[in-house]
Amino acid sequence: MSTTDIPTTTRKDWMSDQEVRWCPGCGDYSILAALQLLMPELGVRREDTVFISGIGCAARFPYYMNTYGMHGIHGRAPAIATGLAMARPDLDIWVICGDGDGLSIGGNHLIHALRRNINLKILLFNNQIYGLTKGQYSPTSEVGKVTKSTPFGSLDNPFNPLSVALGAEASFVARTHDMDRQHMVETFRRAHDHHGAAFVEIYQNCNVFNDGAFEEVTSKEKRADMLIPLQHGQQIRFGADNEKCIAMDNQGNPRLALVAEVGESAVLVHDEAREDPSLAFMLSRLARGPHEPTPIGVFRAVTRPEYAEATSQQLAAAVEQKGPGDLGALLHSAATWQI
């Protein structure tokens, strides 16, 4: 079907008839609105769009989109989505997971979907807490986090979701936050347009069990000095007057600096298309937590072979070389027993 055959839709067309049941004030509402606003602009059909989730507050997402969808089991959304992407590469498949769902029991599925470069758009809602099960610490909770499951403070060193994705060689890695709808929409658009595994971390506030976790960097009063926008081919600068920047130190590591002190020529220029992910990885580690100046935007966007396409090509080549398979012959090709 050509793009001219795709009907014009509005946000309302992408909204299901299900009552949205998140806590009042939850950041999930903002993420849902951003996606519902974006979908009519993408030139896709609702019938060709699928949302797959695991377990958690974020996992209710498929119910609220007027598309196909599946509410899976804890951590298994990337595995389910991988199977669907292999069988139906024509579909637009979005994976919705939380920091606990995606990085704890689902961590193994997540990294393999990313390394294989399955054509999925994976959105990880990171609120640094288990919300659905009432406030236990999660894989992204900071050291010392006091929760119902860590009454004396968490001893676990948290995952950095972007570092995990970049370590798995994800071909598209980005970060956005629930307090800036325009930024979310554009980030999700970039993820959708990317062919391969697209991973987006979303800073998402849980106002019941972890309220204000990202307030030091996402509040309107502090964004200019605490959020560092990454734009391909442009100097990495921030601050109310773009007076601050990222430069490289003598050891080749990125550091925060004042433009006036280091000079224009020393300001790092962002290259999201750089094949080597090491610099993107270092940028992902620049902030030790959401209380220091934090890069935001697209960290990496490179082209790699997509897994379903490569598999189809391999199968086609095998059929061309050896002819169509014979299931009966395969079943009787080795030792058999009669019982």
DSSP 147: -
Tell me the two tokens of residue 98. 């939380």
Mean pLDDT of 30-45: 97
CA distance 100 to 55: 9
Whether residue 125 has pLDDT greater than 50:
yes
DSSP 60: G
CA distance 315 to 323: 11
CA distance 99 to 158: 11
- Residues 292-322 as b/e (b if ≥16 CB within 10 A, e otherwise) read ebbbbbbbbbbebebbbeeeeeeeeeeeeee
Rg of the Cα trace of the chain?
A: 22
- CB 103 within 8 Å of CB 201: no
For the chain, the residue count is: 339
- CB 141 within 8 Å of CB 122: no
Range name among 169-178, 256-265, 315-324 with the lowest pLDDT average: 315-324
CA distance 96 to 168: 19
Mean pLDDT of 42-56: 96
Whether this model's pTM surpasses 0.85: yes
Q: Return the pLDDT at 5.
A: 82
Side chain identity, residue 335? A
Please name the CATH architecture into which domain 3-213+303-312 falls: 3-Layer(aba) Sandwich (3.40)
Which carries the bigger pLDDT value, residue 275 or residue 331? Answer: 275
CA distance 33 to 38: 9
Whether residue 2 has pLDDT greater than 70:
no
CA distance 265 to 247: 9
Cβ-based neighbours of 192, under 8 Å, separated by 6 or more: 38, 42, 92, 121, 198
pLDDT tens sequence across 204-232? 999 999 999 999 999 999 999 999 999 99
Report the first-to-last Cα separation within the chain, whole angstroms.
52
Q: Return the pLDDT at 1.
A: 43
Helical (H) or strand (E) element with 237: strand 237-238
Tell me the two tokens of residue 54. 């695991």
- Residues 205-215 as b/e (b if ≥16 CB within 10 A, e otherwise) read bbbbbbeebbe
Q: Return the pLDDT at 3.
A: 55
Whether residue 163 has pLDDT greater than 60:
yes
pLDDT tens sequence across 261-306? 999 999 999 999 999 999 999 999 999 999 999 999 999 999 999 9
Which carries the bigger pLDDT value, residue 320 or residue 93? Answer: 93
| Residue 186 burial (CB count, 10 A) | 17
Q: What percent of the chain has pLDDT over 70?
A: 99
Per domain, the residue ranges of the chain are 3-213+303-312
In DSSP notation, 205-232 reads --TTTSTTTTHHHHSTTTHHHHEEEE-T
- How far apart, in Å, are the Cα atoms of 306 and each of 114, 119, 195, 196, 206? 10, 6, 7, 5, 35
